[in-house]
Amino acid sequence: MTRSRTAVRSGSGSESRPSRYEFSTVRLTFRSGGDRCVGRLYRPDRPSNPPLVVLAGGPVGSGGRPLAPYAERLAAAGYTAFYFDFRHAGDSGGEPRNLVSPARQRTDWEAALAGLRGRGDVATEDTVLWGVGLAAEGAVAVAAADPRIAGVVAGTPILSGRAFLRERGLGFLAGGLLAGARDRLGSFVGRPYSLPVAAGGADDAGRFALVSTPSASRGYRRLADEGWDNRLPGRSIPALWRHTGSDDRSRPTCPVLLVGGTRDDVAGTDAAAEAAESLPDATLVRLPAGHFDIYDGEGFERCLRHGLAFVDATVRR
């Protein structure tokens, strides 16, 4: 893992964000699958060797920037925090852009941890993974295979790509898998095929958007950068269909906190409740929030409080 520039102080004038004097930040890069991944490390002024929280996820194509407020508050609470962009999203490399691949995301989790463990200035003995959305199941899967992980926080989790697609109905599934084949074949002749990430309205094109619930378009556009591209490669749909998300649930030995939103019209809480029953040591918290509410406002504060209390109880301080 490489440091691309010297550490600088970071912060905001917002009253809900911690003082910029409570932590320092530095942009780091690491390699995954031949591509460069980019993240940001937040280091508190105290203690000298704080436990580590690694965060990933967020709206498709936006990278991990919506998780920056979580990293700031964790650092202000005395934890080293690192959030990163998966390949194909945000500041990380990888083509095509906005590709959704749970298998690649798991590899990126593992590469991020390997990079952090290779550094001499980050204590990794007590590490918690904090995954949001589709990244939540990847965090659970990595923890199942890595006994060094102390705990997992799963925010508004999408725990099975296949279950997520089934919720869209057979018509969407058939159209999505056809779009995947069309994208694969078209890419060989320079004509890839894409789908909308979020539907803009109740039109025919929106019917085949990855997410077409009432909150989706508003939520994605509020959280993503101005240059956000509302498209994802059609091959993302077959990649999601192959992702069942159930193979590793009986194996994690660490505690898992699942935070669901009772008004979540993207992921819902049924799958999170089922996962809480199947995981050996899991707690489910239901918040009165939608899928995108945990990134700011009261939804953010509630999710952070529960997650921070879980981290406090999980790692050695």
Per-residue pLDDT averaged across 109-115, rounded?
A: 97
Pick the residue with more confidence: 191 or 249?
191
- Per the listing, tokens 């539907």 go with 199
Residues 36-79: tens digit of each pLDDT: 999 999 999 887 889 999 999 987 777 778 899 999 999 999 99
Measure Cα distances from 219 to 48, 124, 155, 232, 313 in Å: 38, 34, 16, 17, 32
Give the model's pLDDT for residue 203. Answer: 43
Residue 19 has pLDDT above 80, yes or no: no
CA pair distance 272, 276, nearest whole angstrom: 6
Task: Inform me whether the pLDDT recorded for 310 exceeds 60.
Answer: yes
d(CA 221, CA 238): 25
- Does residue 6 register a pLDDT over 60? no
Instruction: Please state which of the ranges 125-139, 205-219, 227-241 shows the lowest mean pLDDT.
Output: 205-219
What are residue 81's DSSP bridge partners? 42, 53
**Domains of the chain listed by start with CATH number:** 2-162+244-314 (3.40.50.1820), 165-236 (no CATH)
Reported pTM: 0.90
HEC profile of the chain: CEECCCCEECCCCCCCCCCCCCEEEEEEEEEECCEEEEEEEEEECCCCCCCEEEEEECCCCCCCHHHHHHHHHHHHCCCEEEEECCCCCCCCCCCCCCCCCHHHHHHHHHHHHHHHHCCCCCCCCCEEEEEECCHHHHHHHHHHHCCCEEEEEEECCCCCHHHHHHHCCHHHHHHHHHHHHHHHHHHCCCCCCEEECECCCCCHHHHCCCECCCCHHHHHHHHCCCCCCCEEECCHHHHHHCCCCCCCCCCCCCCEEEEEECCCCCCCCHHHHHHHHHCCCEEEEEECCCCCHHHCHHHHHHHHHHHHHHHHHHCCC
